[in-house]
Structure 1
Amino acid sequence: MKEFWNEKFNTKEYIYGKSPNVYLAEKLKELPSGKILFVAEGEGRNAVFAAKNNWQVEAFDISNIAKEKALEYAEDSNVGINYSTQDFLEIPYKENSFDAIALIYAHVETTKRASYFKKIDRLLKTGGFLIAEGFGQDHPNYQKKYPNIGGPKNAELLFSVEEFKESFINYDFLELQEVETSLNEGEKHVGKGSVVRMFAKKKL
């Protein structure tokens, strides 16, 4: 998997662009800045946006090439981010240390997803926020119509409303739905797709 993503990110261009995900940007603007973690952050577009808006940023990804591009983008933007390429389950983040955690197209394989979600819950402070956007169960129908929309070919990697509900039972869901959206994120997310969006607060 690391080789797959290194090959994909091994271009001069930022394949998902340098602008932040629109949904993430909207939600961060609603929150006071604090400490945020980006799961499977890729080339840094969301992490740099958060840092520009006074968030203390931690991020990780399996790809060392993605990390290099993210740090270069952060330096060019005159902001600092901390970025790891360790396996998420092995990174020694402190529990209850994040005010927000973002999963933006962080399509984790099924064998790790439950463990990822449990760790995310442990890392997030009580009263903290989860922000997620990723391709949903209806997305394969859009991939046929929009060849540049991207997204997993394996349906097991897609997000679902039901899985989020079951995985984060001690959360208030301010928003949780699968919707159609038009994406224009670099060269790899272009066209209409079906996405699951979650904005949730960890209960006190």
Structure 2
Amino acid sequence: MSKDMWNENFSEEKFIYGKEPNEFVKAYSGVIPEGAKVACFAEGEGRNAVYLAEKGYDVSSYDQSEVGLEKTKELAKERQVDVKTNEKDLIIETVEANLYDAAVMVFGHVPKQNQSFFIQNLIRSVKPGGFVMFEVYSHHQLPYQSGGPKSEELLYHPKEVLDWIEPYKCLHYYYGEAERYEGDRHYGLSHVIQVIIQKN
């Protein structure tokens, strides 16, 4: 999905995925050590980045949409926290290696041929001993019609995800249904893949 399309989506006055964090992030972010340096990838309008900043983390947000990043700044100001914003196309440009204590990604859906690079970008950005956590829609999401991409080409397959994370210590893996109510775009029973790994 192109930068122009995301800029158009995020140009609505309201926050299209809401202002509250993703439930997976809310439930499991405690695995990240206190005061850690955290990167939020494909973070859109900033709801998870701002939540993590409120929890005391040093947060940087990455997205290709400058409109989404401006809304991240707006939400951070509203909640009186600091979030560093970085405009970057994460399926082409790499984030500096071994820079963060943790990387977080929620529903960052990219074309099938770019998914491995994208996930490795998250993992590469984290220091040895650091944590990577993400939640994405699985390839079974389409019949649920509760949000996410309309093409299986932009969804994730559990076998591929397991292959990507196999070299690392897996702390949490879930493949199945979850209720998600996030603004107007994610609404209802969904089919997701969740991962938390610790980098060697």
Normalised TM-score (structure 2): 0.92
Match of 2:185 in 1: 188
Report the Cα offset of residue 160 of structure 1. 2.4
Task: Measure the CA separation in 1 of the matches of 2:5 and 2:121.
Answer: 25
Report the Cα offset of residue 44 of structure 1. 0.5
Task: Measure the CA separation in 1 of the matches of 2:171 and 2:25.
Answer: 14
Give the counterpart letter for 2:58 in structure 1. Q
User: Is the CA contact 1:161–1:177 (under 8 Å) kept in the aligned structure 2?
Assistant: no
Task: Measure the CA separation in 2 of the matches of 1:123 and 1:64.
Answer: 21
Query: What is the percent sequence identity of the aligned residues?
Result: 32
Alignment of 1:37-186 (within 5 A): 37-88=39-90, 89-90=92-93, 93-143=95-145, 149-186=146-183
Question: How many residues of Structure 1 are paired with residues of Structure 2 in the alignment?
Answer: 197
Report the Cα offset of residue 2 of structure 1. 1.1
Q: Which runs of 5+ in 2 are unaligned?
A: none
User: Superposition RMSD on alpha carbons, in Å?
Assistant: 1.4
Task: Measure the CA separation in 1 of the matches of 2:46 and 2:129.
Answer: 26
User: Is the CA contact 1:161–1:176 (under 8 Å) kept in the aligned structure 2?
Assistant: no
Match of 2:18 in 1: 17
Give the counterpart letter for 1:23 in structure 2. F
User: Is the CA contact 1:182–1:191 (under 8 Å) kept in the aligned structure 2?
Assistant: yes
Of 151-160 and 47-56, deviating more is 151-160
Provide, for residues 111-150 of structure 1, a one-character-per-residue CA deviation record: whole Å limited to 9, x for no partner: 322222233222111111111111112111211xxxxx21
Task: Measure the CA separation in 2 of the matches of 1:7 and 1:94.
Answer: 28
Q: Which runs of 5+ in 1 are unaligned?
A: 144-148
Task: Measure the CA separation in 1 of the matches of 2:25 and 2:60.
Answer: 15
Normalised TM-score (structure 1): 0.91
Task: Measure the CA separation in 2 of the matches of 1:100 and 1:59.
Answer: 12
User: Is the CA contact 1:100–1:129 (under 8 Å) kept in the aligned structure 2?
Assistant: yes
Report the Cα offset of residue 50 of structure 1. 0.5
Structure 1 runs of 4+ aligned residues shifted over 6 Å read: none
Task: Measure the CA separation in 1 of the matches of 2:196 and 2:88.
Answer: 26
User: Is the CA contact 2:112–2:155 (under 8 Å) kept in the aligned structure 1?
Assistant: no
Report the Cα offset of residue 75 of structure 1. 1.0
Task: Measure the CA separation in 1 of the matches of 2:96 and 2:142.
Answer: 37
Give the counterpart letter for 1:12 in structure 2. E
SS of the aligned residue for 2:119 comes to: helix
Task: Measure the CA separation in 2 of the matches of 1:193 and 1:136.
Answer: 9
Provide, for residues 140-183 of structure 1, a one-character-per-residue CA deviation record: whole Å limited to 9, x for no partner: 1211xxxxx21111102112221122112321212212111111
